[in-house]
């Protein structure tokens, strides 16, 4: 019998890597379109620059490694779009390019390229930019401000509600406005309603499994409810925590990366809960108000361990069931 | 397959292996805390390189001279005490040259006395047939290799992370301040390690090709 070994993602449906990536790209383009409505042409330019940097660097890395380029692999486009959409629209192009290069050249290809990376490249790219240029990454323009395509940015920049929460204050943003994305924040991560629709679409298309984003959001909400940072009730804390920053965006587009997430459904749930709790811990005790990409990188390191122990647990259950069946058969005889 | 030139190359490269083919930081992964934590500017790297050379060379020479004559349990104590004396001497030497750097290096100067490169070389020349000449050559080459690696890492981190060289501002359009923190040091060491291993293979392959032009 000939066994063919292929790298992850292991897809057992009619869909291919290309169709799954196409679904995600389609949704990211919708978010990109919304960013265009809120911030103008600058948002589209940032996305285009990020995608171009990711795609070109991916191609160069593949050629350096002596492999044949696969033009049907859309993963660098997804990486580029995610990096751009978690940034503010005023971000300098050089920072976006640096983040995309870091994601592809340092995080993706040294581990073996598509399907072999241990860490989520987009999350790593964002973290790199956040550590190097926090003043540019965490200052956001107000929607509908006119941002010039080139040259110096003169529009007023302000902080995200997650920064207010970090300081122990209560955000003054209206919940309805937050649902519609009409507040300063990452250009693709503020449209809560649209991102929730994206989640439903991806679940319906079976591109992602519910066992990952739902436990992640539930555990983050549970921690926010039990230990509210804002001086009001737990429900308000849950609403602000889930809707501020890029928590929801990260849950839908970063955490669900099929390569860096566990394989079994039960492992996915464990991973989701773990990532959710870590996200909230980073928010409560971390240095930055934006914690999801950092928490995802941290959780990625535990994926092999979760997979391994989960497999052992399943074997144990199977063995117990088998022993139980055998003992029943013996009793019958 | 003619391997004469490859063997000759390997024989002579034994003298400078500490600098290139077995570089303590870039190939062997020794003394990594210094390469990752301390090497954020060129001044620190030079100060640490002087301390390292001033400690490693006499201690390894001492190990090659008295290593086999003493019981093993006492060797470790003698080498550590001797290297600590050398560290104190070197610290006194570099203090007038880089006063602020010595303060900034803090605990990293004393731990030069027990770094993995020094301990590995001492154990090598205590247990093998002692050859003071080769011990001296190795100690000098490993110290130079360490200095080269740490200065290269520092230069890159200072230039791209702080846009300065030796504390003097240089013009560069973008500042990667993340390079100044430890994780960037690890990543840089990993990439340089891969680059040097690749270069080592290329050189060996070029030597092989020189005497075997048509053999595949």
Flag whether residue A126 sits within 8 Å of chain B, measured between CB atoms: no
Q: Which of B162, B173, B178 to mutate to test the interface with A (most CBs of A within 10 A)?
A: B178
Smallest CA–CA distance, residue A173 to chain B, in Å, is: 32
Nearest residue to A132 (alpha-carbon basis) of A95, A81, A82: A95
Q: Is A125 exposed, middle or buried (0-12, 13-18, 19+ CB in 10 A)?
A: buried
Take residue B105 and report the two structure tokens written for it.
């290096």
Residue B187 has its nearest CB partner, among A94, A106, A133, at A106
B7 within a domain of the structure (yes/no) = no
CB-based contact, B178 to chain A, within 8 Å: yes
In a domain, B135, yes or no: yes
Predicted local confidence at residue A9, as pLDDT: 66
What's the Rg (C-alpha) of chain A?
Answer: 21
pLDDT of residue B67: 80
Residue B167, min C-alpha distance to chain A (Å): 20
- Helix/strand/coil for B191: helix
With CB atoms and an 8 Å threshold, state whether A94 touches B173: yes
Residue B17 domain-assigned (yes or no):
no
pLDDT value at residue A250: 92
Residues of A whose CB is below 8 A from B174: 94-95, 98
Task: Kindly list the distances between the CA atom of residue A201 and the CA atoms of A47, A194, A209, B93, in Å, as whole numbers in the listed order.
Answer: 22, 10, 11, 68
The alpha carbon dihedral of B58, B64, B69, B71 has a sign of positive
For residue B216, is it within any domain?
no
Q: Are A215 and A272 in contact (CB under 8 A)?
A: yes
B/e letters for B65-101, b = 16+ CB within 10 Å, e = fewer, are eebeeeeeeebeebbbebbbebbeebbeebeeebeeb
Looking at residue A293, what is its pLDDT? 92
Q: Give the per-residue pLDDT at A93.
A: 92
B188-193 average pLDDT score: 91
- Cβ atoms of residues B64 and B135 within 8 Å: yes
* Backbone phi and psi for residue A167, each to the nearest 5 degrees, phi listed first: -80, -5
Q: Report pLDDT for A63.
A: 93
pLDDT digits (tens, 9 = 90+) for A196-223: 999 999 998 888 888 899 999 999 999 9
How far is the C-alpha of A264 from the C-alpha of A250, rounded, in Å?
20
CB-CB neighbors (< 8 A) of A110 in chain B: 190, 194
pLDDT of residue A12: 60
The predicted model gives B119-129 an average pLDDT of: 81
Q: What is the mean pLDDT of chain A?
A: 87
On whether residue B205 sits in a domain, the answer given is yes
Least confident among A190-194, B18-22, B137-141 = B18-22
In a domain, B53, yes or no: yes
Nearest CA in chain A to B179: A132
pLDDT at A15: 63
Give the per-residue pLDDT at A35.
92
Question: Are the CB atoms for A102 and A61 separated by under 8 Å?
Answer: no
| Whether the predicted interface score ipTM is above 0.90 | no
CA-wise closest residue to A25 among A60, A73, A59: A73
Alpha-carbon gap, residue B60 to B119, rounded angstroms? 9
How many domains are there within chain B?
Answer: 1
Indicate the pLDDT class of residue A46, thresholds 50, 70 and 90. Answer: very high
Q: What angle, rounded to 10 degrees, do the helices at A121-132 and A292-300 form?
A: 130
Q: CA separation (Å) from A297 to A117, A132, A186?
A: 12, 17, 19
- Whether chain A has a CB inside 8 Å of the CB on B174: the answer is yes
> Are residues A61 and A117 in contact, defined by beta-carbon separation less than 8 angstroms?
no
In this structure, is residue B72 part of a structural domain?
Answer: yes
Chain segment B52-80, per-residue pLDDT in tens = 999 999 999 988 888 888 888 888 888 88
State how far the Cα of A135 lies from the Cα of A91, in Å rounded to an integer: 10
Looking at chain A, which residue has its C-alpha nearest residue B181?
Answer: A131
Contacts of A133 in chain B (CB under 8 A): 177
- Token reading at A101: 């290069």
Instruction: Scan residues 68-107 of A and list those with Cβ closer than 8 Å to B.
Output: 94-95, 98, 106
B168 in contact with A, Cβ within 8 Å: no
Which residues on chain B are in Cβ contact (under 8 Å) with A106?
187, 191
Domain interval for residue B35: 26-211
- Where is average pLDDT lowest: A114-128, A167-181, B129-143? A167-181
Does the distance separating the beta carbons of B178 and A94 come in below 8 Å? no
- Is B174 within 8 Å of A98 when comparing Cβ atoms? yes
In a domain, B74, yes or no: yes
């Amino acid at each position: 019998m000939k066994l063919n070994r292929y790298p992850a993602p292991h897809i057992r449906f009619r869909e291919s890597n290309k169709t799954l990536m196409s679904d995600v790209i389609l949704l990211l383009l919708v978010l990109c379109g919304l960013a265009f409505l809120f911030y103008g042409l600058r948002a589209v330019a940032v996305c285009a620059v990020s995608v171009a940097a990711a795609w070109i660097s991916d191609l160069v890395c593949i050629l350096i490694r002596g492999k044949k380029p696969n033009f049907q692999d859309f993963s660098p486009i997804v990486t580029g779009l995610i990096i751009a959409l978690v940034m503010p629209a005023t971000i300098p192009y050089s920072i976006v390019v640096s983040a995309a290069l870091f994601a592809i050249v340092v995080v993706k290809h040294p581990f073996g390229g598509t399907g072999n990376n241990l860490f989520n490249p987009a999350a790593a790219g964002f973290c790199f930019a956040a550590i190097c240029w926090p003043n540019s990454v965490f200052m956001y323009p107000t929607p509908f401000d006119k941002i010039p395509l080139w040259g110096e940015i003169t529009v007023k920049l302000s902080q995200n509600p997650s920064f207010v929460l970090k300081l122990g204050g209560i955000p003054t943003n209206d919940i309805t406005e937050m649902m519609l994305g009409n507040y300063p924040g990452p250009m693709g991560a503020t449209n809560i309603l649209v991102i929730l629709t994206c989640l439903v679409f991806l679940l319906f298309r079976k591109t992602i499994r519910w066992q990952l984003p739902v436990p992640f959001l539930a555990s983050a909400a549970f921690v926010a409810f039990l230990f509210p940072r804002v001086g009001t009730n737990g429900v308000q804390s849950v609403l602000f925590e889930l809707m501020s920053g890029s928590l929801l965006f990260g849950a839908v587009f970063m955490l669900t990366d099929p390569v860096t997430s566990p394989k079994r459904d039960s492992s996915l749930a464990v991973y989701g809960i773990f990532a959710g709790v870590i996200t909230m811990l980073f928010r409560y005790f971390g240095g930055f108000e934006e914690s999801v990409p950092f928490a995802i990188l941290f959780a990625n390191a535990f994926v092999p361990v979760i997979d391994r122990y989960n497999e052992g647990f399943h074997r144990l259950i199977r063995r117990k069931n088998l022993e139980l069946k055998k003992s029943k058969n013996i009793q019958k005889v | 397959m003619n391997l004469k030139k490859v063997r000759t190359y390997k024989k002579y490269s034994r003298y400078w292996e500490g600098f290139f083919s077995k570089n303590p930081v870039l190939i062997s992964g020794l003394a990594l805390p210094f390469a990752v934590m301390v090497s954020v500017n060129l001044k620190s790297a030079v100060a640490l390189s002087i301390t390292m050379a001033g400690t490693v060379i006499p201690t390894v020479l001492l190990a090659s001279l008295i290593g086999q004559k003493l019981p093993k349990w006492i060797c470790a104590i003698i080498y550590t005490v001797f290297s600590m004396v050398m560290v104190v001497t070197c610290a006194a030497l570099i203090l007038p040259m880089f006063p602020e750097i010595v303060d900034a290096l803090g605990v990293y100067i004393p731990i030069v006395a027990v770094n993995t490169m020094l301990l590995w070389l001492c154990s090598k020349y205590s247990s093998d047939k002692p050859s003071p000449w080769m011990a001296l050559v190795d100690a000098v080459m490993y110290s130079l290799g360490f200095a080269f690696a740490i200065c290269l890492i520092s230069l890159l981190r200072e230039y791209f992370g702080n846009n300065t060289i030796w504390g003097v501002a240089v013009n560069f359009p973008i500042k990667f301040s993340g390079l100044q923190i430890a994780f960037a040091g690890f990543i840089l060491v990993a990439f340089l390690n891969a680059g040097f291993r690749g270069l080592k293979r290329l050189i060996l392959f070029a030597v092989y090709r020189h005497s075997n032009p048509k053999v595949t």
